[in-house]
Structure 1
């Protein structure tokens, strides 16, 4: 039987990147003592008021067909949110989707196709390659270098650009590195985008989980308004990943042209979830603040916990719920170390190779577990690092 070419383009870009996480879940289900530090699932529940609002909306009959652009209340709430950042935002700039992933998929589908290219930083979030390749376009990687704190550099974008490039996909705050671009860096990046007539698609799902840095966005620069599209959701900010409630904010002409694409796939999101999202965006809920403080504290805990681990270097994040760990000095790749850590020590982390070539020497460690588990994980990582460096020394 014949299949569409998209099935070949995405054949190794789905759950395959999460094979270690899947194996860890299998071991855990079988009774193994596994500390799971793989995925970015908040360890606090959504605020009870959000659950109550969702239930209220369902009981009020808010389960019928939705508006393709988005329910009135949530669109109005998004206009209010983004108008605080740029005063020309209206309902014509908003499209609602079930989560950031769907928003990003739809946005890319509306911007590029076969023969086009998308610039994206490396390391990159694990689904970006699939999102890009699903359109028929291909990715052009821009190295994010540790010596710059994994901040994308305008000069590196300039070097990477090809005639096929149509879009620059930014992610700030960044997953997996936790880097937060500064306003000056964004201005320089924006100038490159203007000079080469590139769209800027900015994934800002970790916007409210910035520690001490100052969040900045190309969306906030009026000179970049005609070319910038933001995608985000309440998944991280309100600890509600399973509700699948996200959005895209962009130029009115763009949203108008993308609306039929969105309606063909989805025709709106669930009204009762839209009501909950509107409530989340218009009320003072401290979930993000509590997560921000917790993840910042735990990132420092990892630094302290691995301070004596030979061959290990922790790169503390500026935001988000992960930290990167460089294991190259142990003599093992990130992939080999991650699998050995699972099999020998019962700690599941993501190998950096799941996030691109520039992360081959790293592990991505989630900070979404209690402090005692962070401490125990660090003890087990240290034990493996000691054995690995001893083997390396014997080989030398």
Structure 2
């Protein structure tokens, strides 16, 4: 919108299908929503009850600017127990969500015009987050025929004197792929060769179905050049609590803390208490969640395999599926609109996640299997899939 009261850099701002999806939810009374990655599972009752009691006991004030000390220590203990990786609380800061953590990290490291390499398809906000920090997004396309792995030869060709960082997101949104250990090691070697930072957007760590998740920061000599973004949203079904964290060298954490002081001051105290309880109870809370979402994801995968004009790779991680619909002869947006209008099912076009998402749609298996089957019972009746 052009207006003298709006900053010129936003005059050509275009809402994404992801951002606009909420406005469609009331269009049909029987709509089945496969659009956003918001688990339908409510945060574990024990976490809610403990956080509620914390509020009654007075945890309603500002916290330490780095975050609640006990929570930071618990995050450090988690990495030690799960990955045999030593990190101290001075290298950890609690943030208001993983998205906020990403912006804080970019704001801390980028000078005007610095380049950040973003593998594509990508989580929708990445490019704009880079631009908000005055950087320049550079896209590294990944391809279905390569399992959406990062091709490090193509990665190396994108590096210039202005390249500052590479974003790595595994398990991946939107493709559902998991980068192999070999790929992560190759990325690490390139980062060290060109003295680059890696921003590891580690949001779906428990949803790695074939191999245990391995943080890239645990690779030899990567701790000093990795900024790890963590979140409680997906791994603990706590999207609405808006709580995440950053792991980075202590000097960088100090800068990020100073930036955040002028942004949101501190993360919400109650959300931090809830996160503390969650991480302590993870061995009870997470296994049933992983079992449920894996079951849903493979149920949707099996139904997709039965559709004409659709191809899809077997799920590797997350609860997202990224089916190829090129054989329909329609664009991603056309297929998305027809599924909405004819089947009353809301999915997102692949172009929401980058130009090379054309020819794909994204499905978030965040509803129960009964709803998944109902959705595909409708979809399979559509002419383009018969």
CA deviation string 1:237-271 (max 9, x = no partner): 11010001100001112112221001111221122
Aligned residues: 382
Q: Which whole-Å CA distance do the structure 2 matches of 1:179 and 1:305 have between them? A: 19
| Residue of structure 2 in register with 1:76 after alignment | 73
After TM superposition, the score normalised by the length of structure 2 is 0.94
- Residues 52-78 of structure 1 show CA distances to partners (whole Å, capped at 9, x for unaligned) of 111111001111111110111111111
1:253 aligns with 2:247: no
1:5 Cα deviation after fit: 4.8
Give 1:174's aligned residue.
172
Match for residue 35 of structure 2? Answer: 38
- State the alpha-carbon separation in 2 of the partners of residues 258 and 57 from structure 1: 27
* Structure 1 gaps, min length 5: 391-396
Structure 1 residue aligned with 2:343, among 329, 345, 348?
Answer: 345
Q: Secondary structure at the match of 2:200?
A: strand
Pairwise mapping of residues 287-302 of structure 1 onto structure 2 (< 5 A)? 287-302=285-300
Deviation per residue, 1:171-200 (Å, 9 max, x gap): 011100111112221111011111111110
1:306-385 aligned within 5 A: 306-384=304-382
Q: Which whole-Å deviations, capped at 9, do the CAs of 1:57-103 have from their partners, x for residues lacking one?
A: 10011111111101111111111112333544111101111110111
Q: CA deviation at 1:317?
A: 2.3
**Cα distance in structure 2, aligned partners of 1:344 and 1:104:** 38
Residues 136-160 of structure 1 show CA distances to partners (whole Å, capped at 9, x for unaligned) of 2111111111122111122121122
Say if 1:119 and 1:140, in contact at 8 Å, map to a contact too: yes
Aligned to 1:17: 17
TM-score, reference length from structure 1? 0.92
C-alpha displacement of 1:302: 2.1
Select 1:7's aligned residue among 7, 10, 17.
Answer: 10
In structure 2, the partner of 1:221 is 219
Q: Is 1:144–1:152's contact at 8 Å kept on the other side of the alignment?
A: yes
Q: Is the alpha carbon distance of 1:19 and 1:100 closer, same or farther for their aligned partners in structure 2, counting shifts above 3 Å?
A: closer
Any conservation in 2 of the 1:182–1:214 contact (CA below 8 Å)?
A: no
Question: Using a 3 Å threshold, how does the CA distance of structure 1 residues 19 and 105 change in structure 2: closer, same or farther?
Answer: closer
Matches of 1:119 and 1:369, distance apart in 2: 33
The separation in 2 between residues aligned to 1:253 and 1:64, in whole angstroms, is 26
User: Counterparts in 2 of 1:103-114, with a 5 A limit?
Assistant: 103-114=101-112
What is the RMSD computed on CA atoms of the aligned residues?
1.8
Asked if 1:139 is matched to 2:142, the reply is no
Equivalent residues in 2 for 1:141-156 (5 A)? 141-156=139-154
The 8 Å contact of residues 123 and 174 in structure 2, kept in 1 or not, is answered as yes
Aligned equivalents of 1:285 and 1:214: distance in 2? Answer: 15
